[in-house]
Amino acid sequence: MIKNIIPMLLALGFSVHAEEEAKEQVENLSPLQVTSGKTATASNDTASAVTVVTRDEISQKPNTLLPDLLREETGVYIQQTTPGQGIPIIRGLKGSQNVHLIDGMRLNTAFFRNSPNQYMALVDSFMTEQIEVVRGPASVLYGGDALGGVVNVITHTPDFVGEAFQITGQAFTSFDSADEKWLSHIDMDMGNEKVATTFGLSYQDIGQRTTGAGETLPFTAYSARALNNKWVFNTSDDTRWIFDVQYLHQPGTPRVDDLVVGFGQTEPDSSVFLFKPNERLFSHLAYSNQVATNWYDETNVHLAYQKIRDNRYKQAFGSDNIDTEQNSSELLTFQLDFNKVFENQSLLVYGFDSYLDTIRSAKQRTTADGQILIRESRFPDESSMRHMGIFADYHMYAGDHEITIGTRYSDYAIDLNSPQISDDRLDLTDLTWHASWLFKLNEADRLFANIGRGFRPPNIFDLGQVGERPSNRFNVINPNLDPETVLTLDLGWKHAGNGWQAEVVAFVSDYQDVISSVETGEQNAEGFDIVQSQNIDEVRIYGLETEVNYYFENGGQLYGTMTYTHGEEETPDEMGGVETGPADRIPPAFGVLGYQQNFATSWHLKSQVRYASSQDRLSSRDLSDARINPLGTGGFVVYDTHFTWYSNREYKVRMGIENIFDKKYREHASGLDAPGRNYHVSFHYEF
């Protein structure tokens, strides 16, 4: 069957003719994005490597967790430790080494790990309008943590024309066989051009996972529920207020890799391990004003509050004791942005931002005889991290050239509030910069180059985390950490026009003072290996990111991506020398090749091949990680096909088979095997 499809695709390709209107094609093939420069710019006209996932693309993707919507995208690899969790890896960096934003507001907290974590999955994917990923350092505009890149999730905003009161909405439900997965969502927009609101509810019920080997995995069932409500007040033609509330709750999500025997283990770490509960509450007030003054043409003001609860319920394997934890982050953010266009058409974007994150943490142990003992908390209770920063980004234009220069000054105050440490306060400042060049070869083609410095201050997790880690490790405090920095150079070419879109980017990053978990050579009273975060590594990461989309006159689209990343790590050895080896958790080469086609007005077909090479270049930490096969993670090729039937665009039924040939595989560094053959059916109704 596949042999018959390939000649058909080639025949369709030879029949394609160029579009008559090149400018119109560029607009269609280059969606608007705001993240790379904090101004609305076509993705083809920004001197950054940018991945944009539009609402139409989201509607054609499997949709369980927010990170799922970034699968198959250029330069973004998804790692999943357990169902209900997932993170993007960008240019070999993950967790707190990337900034995660919701409508431009930080999701990153002071206890974000610089490793796989669950927090991005605490954002409801169903309210997503668009996702934008800036690949490469973006610390000038977004502050600390933006080393590998920035993920900005833009949520749906209701928008009506006219004074009459209007109502629109949608209902969605789906079932997937491989995970016994039921998803449900309903939302409604109401209002007019002056006042509008949207309200949404979502529910997930996930069962046991069946892998490509026919094995039913234990400890994969969980549920989640979410709601969101956004209000828009257009107080004039030039001013707007937006107020938004988001909430997601996972009552009890098991950590699979802690509950099963991993690589190199003879028994699991735990008999019981539940994130119980994990939840996120977020509120956001935004004001925009487009009344020009001598100082700015537009201003945007943001005030946001976020609370994340990361509570845990755990029983170590072979123990009768139950450990319970209560961990929370309360993050208050203020942000003020301006932009100004001068007479020579140059553009200045500048502003101020600040946040204060307060961490609360407690831990108890219930013994077999019912005693409740107070244990040392995972993080120092009432510890805090405060940031203030000012930034400016200047865009200059000379003919077909655009040159951008930006800088940021950051000030951090970190208070560990620890009775164990005499000097428990850390004050840091940093000056971050970047420079970029964009050259318009013609209406469709661009060359660009970037050089930039990223900065990540150690957070509360790095400095003060205490407690068990995977693979029988126990972490202890280290208040004497330096910031991580990265210097990245990338060169690229973009095309959008003549019926196709493409991007090729090569990059190299020098990553200094990397904070890593290091074994001290000691064990605690319970037999755990004691580890501590230290600045010990220097890492060089380089890679290639490519994508192409070819649009046929008959409505078909041939698309493909390929991302390659290579990392080398230098670590001091016991003899005072330097030991060189593979960097930590570097993804294999991966990508997708697919074809989609609209038939008449009622049918849509999407067929694709997802692939990844094997990854046997493992760091010393990879080799001791129970989630990673010490012989390496095998490569895979997986086939998916979906059909969608429309009825006047009001009703939509989507049916498909994923992993058609029931391949057994695991995404590198993930905590469990991927689903086997999956039968999908979903129903979508718009009104």
Phi, psi of 59 (to 5 degrees): -65, -15
**In the chain, pLDDT over 90 holds for what percent of residues?**
82
Reference 613, options 594, 632, 626, 595; nearest CA is 632
Q: How far apart are CA 75 and CA 50, in angstroms?
A: 9
Q: Of 456, 381, 359, 429, nearest to 109 (Cα)?
A: 359
Which H or E element spans position 29? helix 22-29
Q: How confident is the model at residue 471 (pLDDT cuts 50, 70, 90)?
A: low
Three-state DSSP at 504 gives: strand
Give the span between the Cα atoms of 210 and 239, in whole angstroms.
Answer: 52
pLDDT of residue 470: 67
**Which pLDDT belongs to residue 22?**
39
Q: Which residues make beta-bridge pairs with 242?
A: 232, 286
Nearest to 13 by CA among 557, 655, 644, 652: 557
Strand partners, 389: 353, 410
Mean pLDDT confidence for 329-334: 98
pLDDT at 456: 95
pLDDT at 517 (0 to 100): 78
Predicted confidence at residue 24, as pLDDT, reads 42
Nearest alpha-carbon partner for 635 in 611, 618, 671: 611
Contacts of 370 (CB under 8 A, 6+ apart): none
Q: Give the span between the Cα atoms of 255 and 270, in whole angstroms.
A: 9
* 570-581 tens-digit pLDDT: 988 777 788 899
Task: Give the integer Cα–Cα distance in Å for 211 and 674.
Answer: 6
- CA–CA separation, 39 and 49 (whole Å): 16
**Residue in 125, 8, 42, 140 with CA at minimum distance from that of residue 431:** 140
Quote the CA–CA distance of 61 and 130 in Å, as a whole number. Answer: 13
Tell me which DSSP letter residue 147 carries: S
Nearest alpha carbon to residue 508 among 484, 488, 491: 488
Tokens representing 287 are: 């004001």
262-313, pLDDT tens digit by residue? 999 999 999 999 999 999 999 999 999 999 999 999 999 999 999 999 999 9
Give the residue numbers spanning the domain of 388: 2-686
Domain count within the chain: 1
CATH label of the domain that carries residue 151: 2.40.170.20
Q: Which residues are CB-contacts of 470 (< 8 A; sequence separation ≥ 6)? A: 257, 258, 269, 625, 626, 627
The answer to whether 209 touches 675, Cβ cutoff 8 Å, is yes
Query: What digits encode the pLDDT tens for the residues 122-157?
Result: 999 999 999 999 999 999 999 999 999 999 999 999
Q: What is the pLDDT of residues 542-598, one digit of tens each?
A: 999 999 999 999 889 999 999 999 999 998 877 778 889 999 999 999 999 999 998
C-alpha angle with apex 253: 250 to 254, nearest 5 degrees?
A: 175
How crowded is the C-beta side of 354, counted as CA atoms within 13 Å?
7
What average pLDDT does the chain have? Answer: 92
In the three-class reduction of DSSP (H, G, I as helix; E, B as strand; rest coil), residue 25 is classed as helix
pLDDT-derived band at 464, boundaries 50, 70, 90: confident
pTM: 0.93
